[in-house]
Amino acid sequence: MNTIERALMHALFTHLHHNIDRAVDFAAFGELNRMVSRSWPGALVVGPGDDAAVVRVPGWEGYLVAKQESHCSPCVPRPYDAAATGAGGAMRDITAMGGRPLFLMDFIGTRPLEEEVLVGPCGFAGKCTCGKCRTMTSQERLNLMVRGIRDMCEAMEVFVIGGGLSTSFSDIVPAVVVAVIGKLVTEAPLTKPAKAAGDRIILIGETADDGNDTLYRAGLVREMRPARALFEQERTTLEATLAAFEVGGIHACSDLGAAGIGAGICESARYGGLGARVDLSAVPVSVGGLTAEEILICETQARMVLQVAPDKADEMMSAIRSRNGVAAIVGEINDDDKEVFEYDGQVIASIPNKPSAEMLESLTQR
């Protein structure tokens, strides 16, 4: 297991972001939902476990899609970008299910407004040693976070319809949580699991070197660089993805958030009981000098990944480009039991769907 494999496998199989069921009793929610379904049969279409929930309101036509997401820790070094990317990520989760985001609610919890907070790379330490940080009031930081959410909603033409605020927090990390509601525009939800060997993998959007949390935790980079908000690109990716929906033939769809391309493709293939092979050198990039590891695992925003029937791939690429989308066919789903990522013909990482007990145990050792 090389370093990048270890980093990606730690994110997929150990870190709570991808393993929430280890901390939350989803079985209890499942039982509750089954009970409520007796009163409202057919109302819950897709529940906890996918990119977003899909529901049908009794008596209404069509489906609603809903997602809640937090971006708390990144608000310490970059409050404006982190709040905006939290909103943008939740909107992409709506799109990943086949929906268009329409409404947003947010909750922010922070220290009393008159207290001072340290914003920048040293924010977690509480004392600046890099010379890049800024001391401001909690009110000033709150203003940045609210503006980030507002600006993302403007870019995506999403209503802000409400939310909440608490100034009783005492922690260094503020709470920034958004909930987004949209309307399903595809005939049926586009669930995360891969569906068919041979499907082409299309990546929409460009990859950069920001959003490197997983690389930072793995010790591959010295400075954590939270993802930057990409307002124009988010809107272009949304419209390009909606154009792809019109073509049909999409079997699975995901946005690229935590652990980037690696997590998006590995989770989908594993959940579908399939494998994948990906050519990282085919991935569109927006900056030069990226390593294969950065391309694999960085968390740059404004990206979606589609799994498409082979006979629809060229037509879908044309549809995406008709809306100015940047896209490439980067690989395909296969019937293997692992996901293989290559760069210029060299294998960069091979991630098994079912790691051995020894491999899993080694992920918790330093």
Q: How do residues 72-88 score in pLDDT, each as one tens digit?
A: 989 999 999 999 999 99
User: How large is the C-alpha radius of gyration of the chain?
Assistant: 20
Examine the domain organization and report whether 150 and 262 are in the same domain: no
Give the residue from 160, 184, 208 where a domain finishes.
184
Average confidence score pLDDT of the chain: 95
Helix (H, G, I), strand (E, B) or coil at 137: strand
3-state DSSP: the chain helix, strand, coil percent, rounded to 5? 35, 25, 40
Instruction: Give the per-residue pLDDT at 224.
Output: 73
Instruction: Give the per-residue pLDDT at 105.
Output: 98
Instruction: Give the per-residue pLDDT at 17.
Output: 81
What is the C-alpha end-to-end distance of the chain, expressed in Å? Answer: 14
Question: Does residue 195 sit within a domain?
Answer: no
Examine the domain organization and report whether 134 and 209 are in the same domain: no
Q: How do residues 332-344 score in pLDDT, each as one tens digit?
A: 999 999 999 999 9
Instruction: Give the per-residue pLDDT at 225.
Output: 78
For 285-351, the DSSP string reads BSSSS--HHHHHH---SS-EEEEE-GGGHHHHHHHHHHTT--EEEEEEEESSSEEEEEETTEEEEEE
Instruction: Give the per-residue pLDDT at 366.
Output: 59
User: Using CA atoms, how far apart are residues 125 and 123, in angstroms rounded to an integer?
Assistant: 5
What's the number of domains the chain is made of?
2
Residue 204 host element (H or E): strand 200-204
Write out the residue range of the structural domain in which residue 67 sits.
Answer: 42-184
Contacts with 251 (C-beta within 8 Å, 6 or more apart), sequence order: 190, 194, 195, 196, 199, 307, 308, 309
Residue type, 355: P
Give the residue from 150, 184, 218 where a domain finishes.
184
Instruction: Tell me how far CA of residue 182 lies from CA of 50, 107, 133, 288, 319, in angstroms.
Output: 15, 18, 37, 36, 22
Examine the domain organization and report whether 150 and 107 are in the same domain: yes
Task: Put the strands of the sheet holding 250-255 in their side by side order.
Answer: 250-255, 304-308, 200-204, 327-334, 275-279, 338-343, 346-352
pLDDT band per the 50, 70, 90 thresholds, residue 233:
very high
Question: Does residue 208 sit within a domain?
Answer: yes
Examine the domain organization and report whether 157 and 208 are in the same domain: no
Burial of 126 (0-12, 13-18, 19+ CB in 10 A): exposed
CATH no. for residue 350? Answer: 3.90.650.10
Among 162-171, 211-220, 281-290, whose mean pLDDT is lowest?
A: 211-220
Examine the domain organization and report whether 76 and 156 are in the same domain: yes
Question: Does residue 303 sit within a domain?
Answer: yes
Give the residue from 156, 184, 212 where a domain finishes.
184
Examine the domain organization and report whether 227 and 358 are in the same domain: yes
Question: Does residue 24 sit within a domain?
Answer: no
Examine the domain organization and report whether 157 and 252 are in the same domain: no
**Mean pLDDT across 209-217:** 81
Examine the domain organization and report whether 354 and 209 are in the same domain: yes
Q: How do residues 22-42 score in pLDDT, each as one tens digit?
A: 899 999 999 999 999 999 999
Question: Does residue 28 sit within a domain?
Answer: no
The alpha-helical segments, DSSP class H, found in 41-180 are 79-96, 138-156
Give the chain's count of helices (H) and strands (E). Answer: 10, 15
Distance of CA 123 to the CA centre of its chain: 24
Examine the domain organization and report whether 163 and 307 are in the same domain: no
**Whole-prediction pTM:** 0.95
Residue 215: is its pLDDT beyond 80? no
CATH no. for residue 169? Answer: 3.30.1330.10
Question: Does residue 253 sit within a domain?
Answer: yes
Residue 266 host element (H or E): helix 260-271
Examine the domain organization and report whether 169 and 207 are in the same domain: no
Question: Does residue 283 sit within a domain?
Answer: yes
Question: Does residue 300 sit within a domain?
Answer: yes
Q: How do residues 5-27 score in pLDDT, each as one tens digit?
A: 999 999 999 888 888 988 999 99
Examine the domain organization and report whether 154 and 60 are in the same domain: yes
Examine the domain organization and report whether 177 and 219 are in the same domain: no
Instruction: Tell me how far CA of residue 184 lies from CA of 53, 61, 213, 233, in angstroms.
Output: 11, 11, 31, 22
